[in-house]
Amino acid sequence: MKKKTPMKPHHLAKLHVHKGDTVKIIAGKDRGQTGRVERAFPRLERVIVEGHNIAKRHLKPRGPGQPGGIIEKAMPIHVSNVMVICTECGEPTRIAHDRVPQGADQKVRVRRICKKCGKPIQERSRTTGGE
């Protein structure tokens, strides 16, 4: 029987990778390939990268509207096996965090910084709707 992976509590579940980021896979069968993060699971510390880590799943028919068959499905990858690609220098990089006052209210917010070029990484999913 498969062992269930423990979930992190909500207040500890934070990732260096966000939805919409372009990442390079550094370990596993898709090593060296790049893709966009489709979905993130912070409590499980996993992400789904668009078009990578594909597995075949056998589905039973679920009624007249849903036939059975073999479907290909993107499976989650652990976050330690991906590196964020910087939006400025285009290199896979580690992430630093910087606390700066932003916005009209000058509230201190955390932004992600590229360790190689030192420039902030653009938040694609939040600003432009994932494109």
Q: Determine what percent of the chain falls in helix, strand and coil, rounding each to the nearest 5.
A: 10, 40, 50
Residue type, 14: K
The gap from C-alpha 115 to its chain's centroid, in whole angstroms, comes to 18
The DSSP bridge partners found for residue 59 are 69
- For 49-100, the pLDDT digits (tens) are 999 999 999 999 988 888 889 999 999 999 999 999 999 899 999 999 999 8
Domains in the chain, ordered, with CATH?
Answer: 10-92 (2.30.30.30)
87 Cβ neighbours under 8 A, 6+ residues apart: 22, 121, 122, 124
Q: Do residues 86 and 16 touch, judged by C-beta distance below 8 A?
A: no
- For 93-122, the pLDDT digits (tens) are 999 999 988 888 888 988 899 999 989 988
